[in-house]
A and B are shown apart, each in its own frame.
Chain A
Amino acid sequence: MATVADPAEAGTPAADERRPVRRSRATAPGGRRRHGPPLLAISPFYVLFAVFGAFPVVFSLYLSFQDWDGIGDMRFVGFKQYGWLLEDSVFWHSVLNTFEIWFLSTVPMLFLALVLAFLLHSQVRFTGAYRVAYFIPNVTSMVAMTVVFGSVFAQTGLANSALRMVGMDGVGWLSSEWGIKVSLSIMIIWRWVGYNALIFLAGLQAIPTEHFEAARVDGANSWQTLFRVVLPQLRPVVLFAAVTSTINGLQIFTESQVLFQSTDVGTTGGPGQEGMTIVLYLWQKAFKDHQFGYGAAMGWLLFAIIAVFTLINWRLVSGSDREDRAGIRSLLRRKGARNGR
């Protein structure tokens, strides 16, 4: 709020006297006044963030301890809300589904993205066209695409027709446990693989060409170059992609919501609720059943889960060289101890 008072202060004699001094010193005593205009200039962001970012976050924490239908009086229920949530079998089912879908989609997706980026990085014609093509799925309306995928995975759809053409039986893509999860994963892969490929490509291009040349001179083939030269240097980029994919993957919503949208109640998440993700369940509780407190509590548990997994991801992917060496040394020592005596 200092920003509001500043313009008035700026005109005072004291301020005028000190002006030459302030100009020459980086951190003048009257810093507040000096930083006033810039602070004022950037304040719209903070005002908007406070109203549309910080307030909802804090309010949802408050809300998670209340029972509230959105209009009437709130009823304080405290930690019982979280207790109910932890006992809710549908919630745990949705957590399990989310992780299964996340694993099924993220692992192949990152691998495919890496391969694509590597191919793009080598000399090919129309690179620009490929980049655009890879990025298009990411900016296409997910709702529209889900409708298309819905007909691809239908019992009489494209996917099953293709299977039958090669003499295999059709699969219940949208009516069996793993069919549902694989269908959802394929949609997620399709949407994100190009995006991550471009991220990887940017990382690849930052690697000095001498490294590739040296590898070629040493007689390394493509796979060796990928795993021995490229991957180690891409570590920060892989970490970024893995963390963002985890965050995205744990918030899967549109795909399963639109895929199983139907006029009938009770088909949320599809047969067996196998496509029910955490965010879809949150949405159902908050916006269909009007249990906003319950939804808010679910949001905070999801936050906790994402935080834990980001941390694990970080540890797995970014373990520094020093740690690696220490790990290997201790491993060797243990091995030696066992063999030696």
Chain B
Amino acid sequence: MSRRGLLGASLGAALLGLPGCGAGNGSASAGTDHLSLWYWKGSLSDKLLATARRAVPGVPGLKVKGSQIPDGDIDSKVRTSLAARAYVPDLTVVNSDNLATFFPDENEFLDLRTLGAESVRDQYLDWKWKGCFAPSGRMIGFPLDAGPTALYYRRDLFRRAGLPDEPQAVAEEVSTWEKYLAAGRALRKGPGKPYLVSNVGNVFQQVLLQSPKQFVDADNRFIGDQAHVKRAWDLSVEILRQGLSARIVDGTPDYNAAMGGGRIASMTTAVWAINGLKDTAPKTSGAWRLTTMPDGPANYGGSYVTLTRYCRDPEGAFAFVKWLLGPANQLKSYQEMALFPTTPAAYADPAMHRPDPFFGGQRPIDVFGPAAQKAPVVYFSPYEETANTPFFQELTNVEALGKKPERAWRDAVNTAETTLTRLGVS
């Protein structure tokens, strides 16, 4: 081909390509024989998606194709496609902290009640179901997985410090956060002087999640300066003051070294942390145990599936969701991907009661099952992350740089208030 011909051909191709944007009805699957679903690696069962790619069982003629989007990008990508009204997926997975960020634009998503969602309501955890609703009453998410929390602790370190070491006894010994701190002091006095926690961020997070209120209430008012946040803050500061925190950031090489080396005796976090812990500290296998968190359980993480308003086949998509997230398949997802079911019926299944050698043969479900059912109903506002970032940041400043706690608290409240005022939160 001559150079001119090549130029002409490429220009022609570019011009032909342009009208492609915005063609059809805006769905990414327009003109194909399947519905499109966006998810990030690990958020859905690969085996079930492989089945749905060929045909969704029980729904004749329906195929759903999942596309993996990197974890950190999916929110921006969904937002971008919605803004452009083009190449929007029919279905998408949304992280539990982020569902609320879509509340101001809830009309971009279908109201699942109109598709008959109420018919399966009694199969799902009550608090999780309530989390699917925007404040206006529209149901824009469907329960995917849950993130019940527990106290993970090192049985050997607890025993050596002269503390009770069986899960039931530990649960009683550290039934409140104050008692948890007392156990921490005993650990520091014991041999090896292990720390209670790697850093205080997780404690701050869990105490907050035990409260139904967070930083902004349903009337769009800032409540981050109130008692429920101050309590979480004061507890965290107290852990630092008493020297019970190793003051290292999770996920760093220092953290891996401390966990592997038995410098950290416990952590308060969700069920999904199990796999990370097994990877981080494989040598500590058998030494860990699980028990209820001080002051009771909470939910940390977990996801939802949403249907966008560009969905080509809402009935079919909802039938797929009901199949994918029904009790039977949630059980399969748990076994395959460690996605914790939001359908309590699955908890009774013998398959969920396998002992885990990493926890010395303990059955994780015995702790996480009841925790999942007792988690409080928490209200998240669209501005939660904007509001809580200064608090986590200032806590890090106190922890790592020794900033004065009173000063840090004032700075956190001020920063959050200024930022939120701009966004219309009073």
Which residues of A are at the interface with B, using a C-beta cutoff of 8 A?
Answer: 40-41, 43-44, 47-48, 67, 69-72, 84, 87-90, 150-151, 154-157, 172, 174-177, 260-268, 271-273, 287-291, 294
Do A267 and B392 have beta carbons less than 8 Å apart? yes
Find B397's partner among A90, A268, A272 (CB 8 Å cutoff).
A272
Q: Please judge, given known A-B contacts A150-B252, A174-B252, A271-B396, whether A266 and B391 are in contact too, CB under 8 Å.
A: yes
Q: Is the CB of B386 within 8 A of A271?
A: no
Closest B residue to A83 by CB, please name it: B422
B10, B102, B249, B418: the one within 8 Å of A264 (CB)? B249
> Does any Cβ of A come within 8 Å of B11's Cβ?
yes
Q: Contact at A154–B14, with CB atoms within 8 Å?
A: no
Chain B contact residues: helix, strand, loop or mixed: helix
Is there contact, CB below 8 Å, between A156 and B79?
Answer: no
Contacting residues, chain B, for A157 (C-beta < 8 A):
253-254
Contacts of B385 on A, CB cut-off 8 Å?
265, 288-289
In B100-143, which residues have CB < 8 Å from any A CB?
Answer: 101-102, 104-105, 108
Nearest chain A CB to B280's CB is how many angstroms away? Answer: 12
Known: A41-B7, A71-B82, A154-B252. A264 touches B401 (CB 8 A): no
Query: Contacts A43-B11, A291-B423 given; 14 further ones with Cβ under 8 A?
Result: A40-B11, A47-B14, A70-B79, A70-B80, A71-B102, A87-B418, A154-B254, A155-B254, A264-B199, A266-B388, A268-B389, A272-B401, A273-B397, A289-B389
Chain B contact residue count (CB 8 A cutoff): 47
- Give residues in B with beta carbon < 8 Å to A: 4, 7, 10-11, 14, 76, 79-80, 82-83, 101-102, 104-105, 108, 199, 201-202, 205, 247-254, 257, 385-386, 388-393, 395-397, 399-401, 403, 415, 418, 422-423
Q: Which residues of B contact A273 (CB under 8 A)?
A: 393, 397
In the complex with contacts A44-B11, A69-B104, A268-B389, A262-B79 CB distance below 8 A: no
CB distance from B160 to the nearest CB of A (A): 23
Q: Is the CB of B79 within 8 A of A290?
A: yes
Quick one: given A154-B254, A155-B254, are A267 and B396 in contact (CB under 8 Å)? yes
Distance to closest chain A CB from B216 (angstroms): 13
Judge whether A44 and B400 touch: CB under 8 Å: no
Min Cβ gap A291→B in Å is 7
Decide if B403 touches A272 in the complex (CB within 8 Å): yes
CA distance A271 to B400 in the complex (A): 6
A-B contact list, 19 entries, CB within 8 Å: A67-B423, A69-B104, A71-B79, A71-B83, A72-B104, A88-B418, A154-B252, A155-B254, A176-B401, A260-B249, A261-B251, A262-B251, A264-B201, A264-B202, A266-B392, A267-B249, A267-B396, A268-B393, A291-B386
| Residue ID in chain B nearest A80 by CB atoms | B422
Quote the shortest CB–CB distance from A96 to chain B (angstroms): 16
A97 → B minimal CB distance (Å): 14
